[in-house]
């Protein structure tokens, strides 16, 4: 009986080290941000507001909520995503990625906002 327990324990140990690791959040570089966002959309919640953002490869960006669409400009620089809006000026964020999950991080506070990366220009479908 004891031999069986030792065998089971050693087998469990070996299997757990042999399994591939689950993807983890990775901070994106300037080039990785450009590559991930250009021509694509993200969908998520910013606080209590559901939104879709499309990132045109030419640097234009649309931020769409149930209330309408705001148009601004985006860029990637110094390993951050930056957007500039007529009414609020420029803001920059650290970006982390885990598969199709994009995490926006406000550098001054560490506040995080999750979103999903959608290939191409998605049509908003609000809940």
Task: Give the side-chain half-sphere CA count within 13 A for 114.
Answer: 5
CB-CB contact of 27 with 104 (8 Å): no
- Give the C-alpha distances (Å, rounded to integers) separating 77 from 54, 103, 114: 18, 17, 21
Please name each of the domains of the chain with its CATH number: 25-118 (2.40.128.370)
Does the pLDDT at position 78 exceed 70? yes
At residue 33, φ and ψ (nearest 5 deg) are: -65, -50
The band of 23, judged by pLDDT with boundaries at 50, 70 and 90, is low
Query: How much is the mean pLDDT over the chain?
Result: 87
Tokens of 119: 């290939």
Identify the weakest region by mean pLDDT among 7-16, 21-30, 43-52, 109-118. 7-16
CA distances to 11, 15, 58, 95 from 31, rounded to whole Å, are: 42, 36, 15, 12
DSSP letter at 22? P
Query: What average pLDDT does this structure show over 85-109?
Result: 95
């Amino acid at each position: 009986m004891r031999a069986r327990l030792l065998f089971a324990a050693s087998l469990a140990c070996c299997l757990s080290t042999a399994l591939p690791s689950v993807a983890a959040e990775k901070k994106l570089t300037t080039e990785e941000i450009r590559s991930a966002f250009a021509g694509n959309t993200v969908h998520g919640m910013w606080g209590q507001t559901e939104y879709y953002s499309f990132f045109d490869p030419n640097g234009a960006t649309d931020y769409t909520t149930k209330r309408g669409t705001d148009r601004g400009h985006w860029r990637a620089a110094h390993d951050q995503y930056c957007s500039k809006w007529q009414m609020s000026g420029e803001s920059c964020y650290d970006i982390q990625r885990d598969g199709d999950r994009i995490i926006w991080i406000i550098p001054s506070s560490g506040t995080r906002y999750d979103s999903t990366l959608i290939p191409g220009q998605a049509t908003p479908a609000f809940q």
